[in-house]
Structure 1
């Protein structure tokens, strides 16, 4: 049985960056329409069952109001907290249910929450968030076709997925006794402050260190800073550690949010190798993971960042559909 999981975050695309920057609002009705097209694509792609994370907006039930798929589409049984822990819990349950592909609708933060639950289920992240470096912008109909193929095992995982790198965020009393406290898929920014506040990061003068798993000149968000300095693919076993501030080695102009630019002084550039532990310079303070202040460094604690090459398996929709053409999966 080929089972596909759907995790749609009704809160994505609505954070404070709509006020401090110029991001678009991704409304829930459009998410409903996307899920509707996704389910129709899954049906044609060979999925035999769909399970989904229940949410406060009832995204999937609303999508089903206008279609009658021939395959069962069922909610998973789980406690609802109304926060990102729901996504993490749902992803973990989906792994135990034998889900073969997990489609996530959200931004970098939603994808990260799903990967905290499992990195073994191939993830197909569809962008409905603010900073979308990890998810991709694509048509949900085609994404459904690709997810159905991957879940069914028609193509080997290594042919249609890449294993992305991620960061382990470590925390403890000293560097020798640190334990994993969180993960980051794209970036980890050290924030010289003790207030979580609105969580999003846009005051770059408070960021003395920035760690990146990937760098692209076309990216948006904090990873755009590294994108002007290096090119690192998500699956490449390499990261970038930047020390920010004066005296500057170079000053980078980067789009750190939709319509928002920053002039960032970069003092030091270091490559990160798998397994290396890079200490965080502030205590107390915060670490923003994938654009949101999440990890608190309490007084007397130390923190560090480590590159982990065993990140999530990410579905390459273009590669899947190209292989489907070669195998004539949709030809009779």
Structure 2
């Protein structure tokens, strides 16, 4: 199938991770997994609402996990409540590369908004690609992962309505788009060469681990430091350490850096944080400070690994230089609450009855 070319017709993009919320953190915390049928139902509810808001076409990421197969089976029944659905033209690998590729292709296709189903890691993958483009479309997040500090917990129907109203051009961007921060991690090797870099949209955590191993991070004993773009006290995940220590909102320009004590006996305090569903762990805290935008903080840890939004991604050795920098206005998301408030205020979901005596009110 050929990829859709950029068009003035409103098109909704969808990146749905078929394997989010299936890592070791859910096993050790007795948390259930979201089944493929549940994910497909979420996609269907979101798309039905987007269609009701004015979106006639949707472009989806293909997958091998079963979302496409079940969705196409549903489409063969002749559901007229959905937009026309097309699939991006690439062969899925069942890795994070699928989200990277889909994000780039959706941008090239000119979609007005990208709805993301997944946890912090999936949203990070999409944001990482979109942050390269100053005119990138906004993200509308749906929480289907293990740690969901970034995507809000909300009924997909409401997210679909908000995304659809924006995609159809019925709501002004200035009213409903929210700028987001990110954390830029840079590693300069002691032997020279090109630096390595990556981003996190919630937390970049430094660990004592010398290898990536199991990517999901859930043992607090290995933590050395946490750098947080925002930290909300009701969050699940490693950002909850900062959220219960000194909360930082998404809208504040600052971030938060927390240093852990190598020896609990030398900790300033011990914080009990919900680092995964059902998993509250003690964290020995040595110190913490605000992060100012665009001011790199040098990581004092001599060697270890960097976990980006809950998963180990990078390693560094003694002598390497590691820094973390907070960036503002890196990418945009749809503020669903503000979007729906505007829809109510402006009567966007109203249709006056023909001949009604109230039609001019």
Shared fold per TM-score greater than 0.5? yes
Aligned partners of 2:249, 2:333: CA distance in 1, in Å?
Answer: 13
Q: Please state if 1:159 is matched with 2:175.
A: yes
Shift of 1:153: 2.2
Give CA-to-partner distance per residue, 1:287-314, whole Å, 9 cap, x none: 0010100112245432211001022211
Say which of 106, 111, 115 aligns to 1:103. 115
Unaligned runs of 5+ in 2: 1-8, 352-361
Partner of 1:83: 95
Say which of 267, 285, 309 aligns to 1:266. 285
Partner of 1:225: 241
Give CA-to-partner distance per residue, 1:92-133, whole Å, 9 cap, x none: 111111111110001000100111121432101101110110
Q: Please state if 1:285 is matched with 2:304.
A: yes
Count residues with an aligned counterpart.
332
Unaligned runs of 5+ in 1: none
Partner of 2:139: 123
Partner of 1:324: 343
Aligned partners of 1:196, 1:255: CA distance in 2, in Å?
Answer: 22
Partner of 1:146: 162
Partner of 1:31: 39
* Aligned CA distance change for structure 1 residues 70 and 82 (closer, same or farther; 3 Å): closer
- SS of equivalent to 1:262: strand
Moved over 4 A (4+): 176-180
- SS of equivalent to 2:289: strand
Give CA-to-partner distance per residue, 1:240-271, whole Å, 9 cap, x none: 01110142222211111111111111111111
TM-score, normalisation: structure 1: 0.95
**Contact 1:196–1:293 (CA under 8 A) maintained in structure 2:** yes
Partner of 1:240: 256
Instruction: From the CA coordinates, give the structure whose radius of gyration is larger.
Output: 2
Say which of 2, 8, 20 aligns to 1:12. 20
**Contact 1:6–1:102 (CA under 8 A) maintained in structure 2:** yes
Aligned partners of 2:66, 2:32: CA distance in 1, in Å?
Answer: 22
TM-score, normalisation: structure 2: 0.87
Shift of 1:26: 1.0
